[in-house]
Chains A and B, each alone.
Chain A
Amino acid sequence: MLYRLRKDFLLPNKSAIVKSMHEMSLAMSIVEIASNAARSQGGKIINHVEVEVGSLAGVMEEALSFCFAAAAQDSIAAGATLKIIPVAAKARCADCGEIQPIDSFFDNCPRCQGHQLEIIQGRELHVLSIIVDE
């Protein structure tokens, strides 16, 4: 039997458990970056935030959304929606030079089975844009 914590379980306050994941730090940075961007351009309320997250960035989408809601609570981004745009990972093979999509750090080159893959895409962690009310 697999039990799951209800998603809203810890939302009312930023409890220790929520903070004890790096997604909470990232969520707090997203709120800070978004708030600064909004203020510098005359935005009063943030309705929506778009971020891009690489598949090898080490971030769980679900945890990030969950933490974002908590991190935004006392800010001008409170209640804003978060859209996470995934970026698929790609690597260049040191042996054959091919650039190919990969799923994990454990993949071998799909073409020559080489081990030495240099990751060229998939670590992205960016705030792309926000939508604000003046």
Chain B
Amino acid sequence: MCESCGCNHKHDTLIRRPDTVDPAPHTAHNHVHGDGHGHDHEHEHGHGRKILVEQAILSKNDQLAGQNRRQFQARGVIALNLVSSPGSGKTTLLEQTLKILKTEMPLAVIEGDQQTMHDAERIEAVGVPAIQINTGSGCHLDADMISRAVQQLPVAERSLLFIENVGNLVCPALFDLGEECKVVILSVTEGEDKPQKYPYMFQAAQIAVITKTDLLPYVDFDISRAKSLALHVNPDLRIFELSAKTGLGMAAWLDWLRSLRA
């Protein structure tokens, strides 16, 4: 990381609303370190003075996530962190969900992708405020990005705030954003062994949504096996099955979202 500017290498993270023009790239400083780091580093770890540290590696993220959580709670905002492989149908599920819920409660969406404004634009087209975080080469959202995003996004009191994480079933499992819970989404085209291959994510989530069930006749996806594998890694997981395309199964998911708000 960059010690001189303390910027934590987030130069390539961009946060913006769909209706804004591209900001100038963040090039406020370059990374030439003229402070004599060029010495030879052939140290043996045997010498020197030992300092006890005993600090959680994720402590900074966890602190910021705690701040986000307290801020959400103070304003009655409930945040959900949606995680899945790329293309499993997160944005489509959100579009269909928001269309129905937007007359019932205040909503807002934070979209995370490495590149493009596509998903935030799709959400704003539904009439719900959205902000896009482009992580550049980063593979997950972190709590700092969320706290910066909510400064720019109008999140009304008592909103349901959906955070669509970067499509990735590995890294987002480790990073608390301040959410109420993680919702893992698995589409029937991905194979039913995903909970076995990516147990960390299924462990970290409280809710699983099996999507694209309209495609079940065309794929060899054993939905009961998928569910039992998911429950094996996480016996407390609550599972919904639905098709965002046909709407089948959406009612139970929507009722669960309403129950959070009730």
Contacts and interface: CB of A to CB of B under 8 A. Distances in A.
A109 interface: no
Contacts of A33: 53, 55, 57, 59-60
A22 interface: yes
B3 A75 contact: yes
A125 B58 contact: yes
Interface residues of A, number: 51
B41 interface: yes
Contacts of B196: 106
Interface string A72-102: 0011101111010000000000000000000
A129 B199 CA distance: 30
B258 to A, nearest CB: 29
B74 interface: no
Q: Is the interface of B mostly helix, strand, loop or mixed?
A: loop
B43 A22 contact: no
Interface in A35-64: 35, 37-38, 41, 43, 45, 47-48, 51, 56-58
Interface in B36-59: 37, 41-45, 47-59
- Max chain A CB contacts within 10 Å: which of B43, B54, B58, B202? B43
Contacts of B52: 128-129
A113 interface: no
B232 A106 contact: yes
B57 A26 contact: yes
Contact of B142 (A16, A21, A25, A115): A25
A111 interface: no
A21 B53 contact: no
A8 interface: no
B246 interface: no
B33 interface: yes
Give the dominant DSSP class at A's interface: mixed
B57 A30 contact: yes
B51 A132 contact: yes
A28 B2 CA distance: 9
Contacts of B31: 74
B170 A58 contact: yes
Contact of B57 (A115, A126, A132): A126
Nearest to A31: B1
A116 B234 CA distance: 8
Given A34-B53, A129-B53, A20 B137 contact: yes
Contact of A22 (B37, B53, B140): B140
A51 B1 contact: no
Contacts of B47: 47, 131, 133
B8 A28 contact: yes
Contacts of A115: 232, 235
A78 B37 contact: yes
B137 to A, nearest CB: 4
B234 to A, nearest CB: 8
21 contacts: A14-B9, A22-B139, A22-B140, A22-B174, A22-B175, A25-B171, A29-B60, A29-B61, A33-B53, A33-B59, A37-B51, A47-B44, A74-B3, A75-B1, A105-B202, A106-B199, A126-B57, A127-B53, A127-B55, A128-B52, A129-B53
